[in-house]
Structure 1
Amino acid sequence: MKILFISLILNYFFINMSYADNPIKVKTVYPPKCTLLEEKNGLLCPRIIEVEVEIKGDLNKHLVRCTLFSEEEEILAFGESFLEKPGGKIYLTLRTRTRIHGLTLIAGAKCSSDPY
């Protein structure tokens, strides 16, 4: 009985460990390069944000999908690209183009991968 119980606990532990290992690590999120509009005293920003990722794991080529979230977990940008080890940059497309009047955007990126 004890052996069965211990084997079930070990099986549960190893299954959860294998699902928790994500081979994609977000290194840096680069903000868009904005243009100053002097007549309107604001910034016009493109709809592209760069995310630099690092790939760990055994396989060389991955389809990497990234999503940029706001503090309120609202989806701000998304994108996907094929990358090879050790990593590279993915260009995410913002959902809307906006003028920023001195606002600081606090956001985080989450990435997942499918080995290819």
Structure 2
Amino acid sequence: MTAEQEQIFVLCVWLKFASVADRDEFIHKFWAPLAEYVKAQEHGTLAYEIAIADSDPLKIQVFERYQSKAYFTDVHQTSEPYLAFKAAQAPWRKEHAVEVTGQSYYETGIGHMAR
């Protein structure tokens, strides 16, 4: 494993919905059940949060933080609840014309994170 792969791994995904109703359906039908599982079972997932943009209620950001990229790929992305989430929400997103962009990062350790 490289030094980068051992650093905190962060994934930021932005979604834009056609309506607030679509946004809320996505959050409650797909996101919330997976988030509950992640909180209870994935102890290497350091943050798993969704935020609604203050300037545009149709936009959300998903913020995920993992102890390493390997944890993200080998544990999170292979869990049954995650695989079920991906399979269920992908066609729904397409049908509802949800725009999705994202980027992953390695933390530098410069600065701090606190709640």
Q: TM-score, normalised by structure 2?
A: 0.32
Using CA pairs below 8 Å that are at least 6 residues apart, which structure has the higher relative contact order? 2
Largest Rg, 1 or 2:
1
Answer 1 or 2: which has greater helix percent: 2
Answer 1 or 2: which has greater strand percent: 1
